[in-house]
Amino acid sequence: MHGLRNHFLIAMPQLADDNFSNSLVYVCDDDEQGVLGVIVNRPLTLTIGHLLEKLELDVADSVNADMPVLYGGPVHSDRGFIVHRGSASEWESSLQVSEEIALTTSMDMLNAIACGEGPEEFVMLMGCAGWQVPQLTEELKGNAWLTVAADSRVMFDTPCDRRRDAAAALLGVDLGLLGSIAGHG
């Protein structure tokens, strides 16, 4: 099973794993090695300004220093990930996810953001989520997740606390009307 790149995984109400309960995951890569994604709806108490200062970077006045850093997932929780509009080719360590979206993990982007020269639209995260191929397949069969093609407006134009519902609305689903038990009929 492949083909989830540039899709959202929407946690179903019955998904009780503390790492993923009520989460919205943006899938950045999906291949024979597994699936890599980032949770895009869980703000940390850490702000971008504070993170950049911890990295000893001077933060330009034009930077939205109060923008929250998000919990991207339980894997590599000490590493930064940036999902942004634009080309991966502009940055040292990037993956082009779709024509419009890239994932970058390099310091050159953090320097650019601190100087106010980074991408206009981005989400900064600590950590990521990963699944081995059979693991996510089994979770999907068990109705732990809904999947839908990603819409960048959900990540960049929608407040964090409404992103999961906005992604579900792309499918015409109101998560508030779903019970916590799902099954195959």
Q: pLDDT tens across 17-62, in order?
A: 999 999 999 999 999 889 999 999 999 999 999 999 999 998 998 8
Question: pLDDT tens digits for 112-150?
Answer: 999 999 999 999 999 999 999 789 989 999 999 999 999
Q: What is the pLDDT of residue 2?
A: 59
Report whether pLDDT(185) > 90: no
**In the prediction, which pLDDT does 179 show?**
59
Give the model's pLDDT for residue 5.
Answer: 95
pLDDT at 176: 81
Structural domains in the chain plus CATH codes: 7-177 (3.40.1740.10)
Per-residue pLDDT at 96: 95
Whether the pLDDT of residue 184 is over 50: the answer is: no
CA dist., res. 161 & res. 164, Å (int): 7
- Percent of the chain scoring above 70 in pLDDT: 95
**Predicted TM-score of the model (pTM):** 0.92
Which residues have a Cβ under 8 Å from the Cβ of 139 and sit 6 or more positions away? Answer: 131, 145
Segment 79-94 mean pLDDT: 91
Torsion of CA 175, 176, 180, 182, to 10 degrees: -50
